[in-house]
């Protein structure tokens, strides 16, 4: 019994030693894998305003002149001024709602300025900076939020689609459009904007699948602003968002979303890849929503002031201004003139919003069906009679 018991224990001891060694090896391998899979952030301009080299992406901004840099700065400043004015107008009761882009100017201006005129954009409802780059009048963005139209611009005039409220659906629209572009033999590209929260939507997963299978010339530009309304990113995904692209068979890249030069370079690279027929790319712009999700949100309920303060130190506008000043690219006269232009934009926006006419109450019944419909005609007549029942003919 003693010999048998000893013999019985030996294999277990040996096996335990092997398991221990095996576990150590697995732990070491996992550590190495985790280390190799750490998020790689593309950055060309540090938060302190210092230019850093990047072997892969420097060539994509090699043509940037001092004038171009001043232009990028002007774009971000005026976009922020417009956004602040829209927020104030909502607080004054002039708009029903507003979704601020505060803190995300570099991601939008950098990617927006990477586009060619023949590229097509599918936005969400926060891409005010991209709209600016596409030549959409800022006042047109406000009509929908005031409730007087469904979008005050012609998408085909600027290759900028109407704002999309349904979360994530625009990625499918972009994929389908890009598949059509490929079938037409055009060399233009398509870009779809969405947020970190939308990345959890089934529509986004489906668009990744279709774009990969059909090699669609589309760039998925995810602005990871850290908070999907009130849910942090770590509750949305177990891996960095850009790494999700690997599972669908196309590349993903994470870029410093507060670095306008890096966003410009990375988006240019992805768009060129799409135009060459190499398929989709997922760009994760790692940024931060410094304001509320919308004006109906109170971010103080779910995030700490210290978090916002840490990101304010990475402010995209301050970062570029520091660089411009250090390099002698912009002087006080430039900044003063821009401030004057900024105030003029705010004034124009205020006056335009307050001058917007109310829509025709019966217009809601138009264009529901191409050839009309008996039920719609009946509903229109009922509503017209209800409206006429008021003394002044207007619904209160």
Q: Which active-site residues does the annotation give?
A: 289, 293, 302
Q: Return the percent helix, strand and coil in the chain, to nearest 5.
A: 55, 10, 35
234-266 as b/e, with b when 16 or more CB fall inside 10 Å? eebeeebbbbbbeebebbbbbbbbbbbbbbbbb
CA dihedral 58, 61, 65, 70 (to 10 degrees): -110
Buried b / exposed e over 355-379, threshold 16 CB at 10 Å, is: ebeeeeeeeebeeeeeeeeeeeeee
Query: Backbone phi, then psi, for 194, in 5-degree steps?
Result: -160, 170
- Centroid of chain to Cα 15: 53
* β-strand pairing of 41-42 with 252-256: parallel
- Phi and psi at residue 258, in whole multiples of 5°? -100, 10
The two tokens of residue 79 are 């976009």
For β-strands 120-122 and 41-42, DSSP reports them as unpaired
CA 375 to chain centre: 40
Distance of CA 87 to the CA centre of its chain: 19
Q: Where does the chain show beta strands of DSSP type E?
A: 41-42, 120-122, 190-195, 218-224, 227-228, 231-232, 252-256, 281-286
Residues 6+ apart with CB under 8 A from 276: none
Q: Name the DSSP letter for residue 64.
A: -
In sequence order, the 6+-apart residues with CB closer than 8 A to the CB of 105 are 75, 76, 79, 80, 129, 260, 316, 317
CA distances from 144 to 74, 137, 153, 166 (A): 26, 13, 11, 14
């Amino acid at each position: 019994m003693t010999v048998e018991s000893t013999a019985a224990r030996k294999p277990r001891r040996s096996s335990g030693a092997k398991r221990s060694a095996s576990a150590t090896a697995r732990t070491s391998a996992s550590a190495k894998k985790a280390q190799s899979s750490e998020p790689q952030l593309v950055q060309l301009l540090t938060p302190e305003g210092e230019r850093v080299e990047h072997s892969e992406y420097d060539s994509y901004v090699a043509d940037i002149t001092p004038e171009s840099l001043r232009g990028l700065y002007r774009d971000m400043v005026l976009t922020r001024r417009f956004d602040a004015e829209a927020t104030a107008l909502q607080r004054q009761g002039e708009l029903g709602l507003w979704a601020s882009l505060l803190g995300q100017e570099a991601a939008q201006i950098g990617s927006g300025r990477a586009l060619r005129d023949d590229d097509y954009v599918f936005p969400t409802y926060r891409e005010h900076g991209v709209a600016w780059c596409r030549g959409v009048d800022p006042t047109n963005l406000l009509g929908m939020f005031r409730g007087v139209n469904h979008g005050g611009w012609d998408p085909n005039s600027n290759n900028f689609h109407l704002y999309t409220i349904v979360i994530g659906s625009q990625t499918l629209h972009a994929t389908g459009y890009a598949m059509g572009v490929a079938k037409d033999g055009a060399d233009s590209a398509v870009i779809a904007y969405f947020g970190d929260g939308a990345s959890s939507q089934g529509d986004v997963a489906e668009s990744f699948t279709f774009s990969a299978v059909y090699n669609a010339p589309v760039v998925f530009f995810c602005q990871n602003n850290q908070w999907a309304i009130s849910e942090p990113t770590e509750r949305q995904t177990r891996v960095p968002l850009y790494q999700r692209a690997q599972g669908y068979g196309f590349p993903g890249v994470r870029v410093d979303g507060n670095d306008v030069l890096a966003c410009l370079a990375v988006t240019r690279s992805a768009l060129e890849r799409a135009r060459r027929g190499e398929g989709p790319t997922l760009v994760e712009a790692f940024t931060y929503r410094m304001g509320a999700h919308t004006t109906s949100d109170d971010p103080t309920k779910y995030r700490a002031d210290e978090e916002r303060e840490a990101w304010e130190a990475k402010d995209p506008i301050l970062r570029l201004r520091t660089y411009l000043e250090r390099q002698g690219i912009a002087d006080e006269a430039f900044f003063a003139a821009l401030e004057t232009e900024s105030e003029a934009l705010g004034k124009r926006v205020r006056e335009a919003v307050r001058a917007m006419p109310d829509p025709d109450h019966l217009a809601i019944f138009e264009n529901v069906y191409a050839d009309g419909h008996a039920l719609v005609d009946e509903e229109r007549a009922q509503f017209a009679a209800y409206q006429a029942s008021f003394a002044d003919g207007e619904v209160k």
